[in-house]
Chains A and B, each alone.
Chain A
Amino acid sequence: MSLTNLTLRADLDRLLTSQELDQNQVNLRDILDQVASGWFSEDPPSVTIAGMLWTKRSTGVQYRRSVDNESWIAEREVFKELQNKAPNLTALTDLVGANGSIPVFTGVGAMARRPIVGTASQSGGVPTGSIVESGSNANGLYWRYAGGMQACLRFNIIIPPHALNAGSTVDVAAAAAFADSYFIGAVQVVGQYNGSGAHVDVGSLYTNGMYMTTVNATVMRISTWGYSKALTTGVILNLLTIGRWHL
């Protein structure tokens, strides 16, 4: 090995391990760029720069061989250089993780940690909260999704009995408010309110007909009318409503 190479290697070794890097003496940035590009390339995993063997390790810290070729020296400067090139990566490494959370971009070089299930929120249609919110109250269950979809379940709604040529109207408040009255409902007939036999009134309900309309962004109105039969005991329904919680 020539004297020139030995001097360069000694200089590099001193400079790379020193806290006081003099950019005028050695163009360190150029060398680090070469190392970083070697790191990103698939092949070879190790590169020789300025007469020294450099290789990558799984910890994400670049290593190079010492001058006497006896040991590996961690090269954190390369990692810093990489961070300068990739601000999003820097933002990601600054996050503190938590179980059930995911990182999201909040801008260029800016990230945040958010729970997958938590409070759904938005600003101008852009999610600012969790992917899905799940909750319950005395009006049943609800799920709010980022993107605007909302589904609510309500159990054990009682359609009261009524005579022939008369009707019942039941207003059902959803567990969570919709953005407007453009939401729809589907019912599951559970059975008669206090009957256990032939379920006559369940059949009567279908013979008579039942329809639903939204009153506002909150209430689904279930209406029945005794076109052909009276409803003698009442019928129990479950209700699923789907719509949007923001525009």
Chain B
Amino acid sequence: MHIILIPQRRDDTLMLSREGDVLIINEEAYDFSQVPDGATLPASAIDSEFIVHEVQRIDGVLYITIILPHGADASEAARFPAPIIDPPNGVVELPQ
């Protein structure tokens, strides 16, 4: 699983954790295990305000783009975040 973060100044927060092909966004679980290889799931099919781009599986790897909320005085790492490549199961460490 590759998580691409798109930073946005917002007043809400994001808690992210991973269990295999399941991504838990603010305690809501999204199961992407049914997305076959080469397929694309449009953002409109995913009921989350944090997912605004399509989810793809390429060569067996899920690519998920997620909005990363940050505050007014966020760090460079949060405002220009690097992708998170294959995070281990559990809480996903997000740049603050």
Contacts and interface: CB of A to CB of B under 8 A. Distances in A.
Contact of B9 (A144, A215, A217): A144
B6 interface: yes
B52 A215 contact: yes
Given A118-B72, A137-B79, A138-B81, A173 B52 contact: yes
Interface residues of A, number: 22
Interface string A134-178: 011111001010000000000000000000000000010111110
Interface in B1-27: 6-11
Interface residues of B, number: 21
B73 interface: yes
Contacts of B11: 177
Interface in B72-90: 72-74, 78-81
A133 B49 contact: no
A47 interface: no
B83 to A, nearest CB: 11
A96 B56 CA distance: 55
The 9 lowest CB-CB distance pairs between A and B, nearest first, are A176-B9, A119-B72, A137-B79, A137-B7, A177-B10, A219-B52, A138-B80, A173-B6, A138-B7
Given A137-B78, A139-B6, 13 more contacts: A119-B71, A137-B7, A137-B9, A137-B79, A138-B7, A138-B79, A171-B43, A171-B53, A173-B6, A173-B8, A173-B52, A174-B8, A175-B7
Interface of A: 118-120, 133, 135-139, 142, 144, 171, 173-177, 215-219
5 contacts: A136-B79, A139-B6, A139-B7, A176-B9, A177-B10
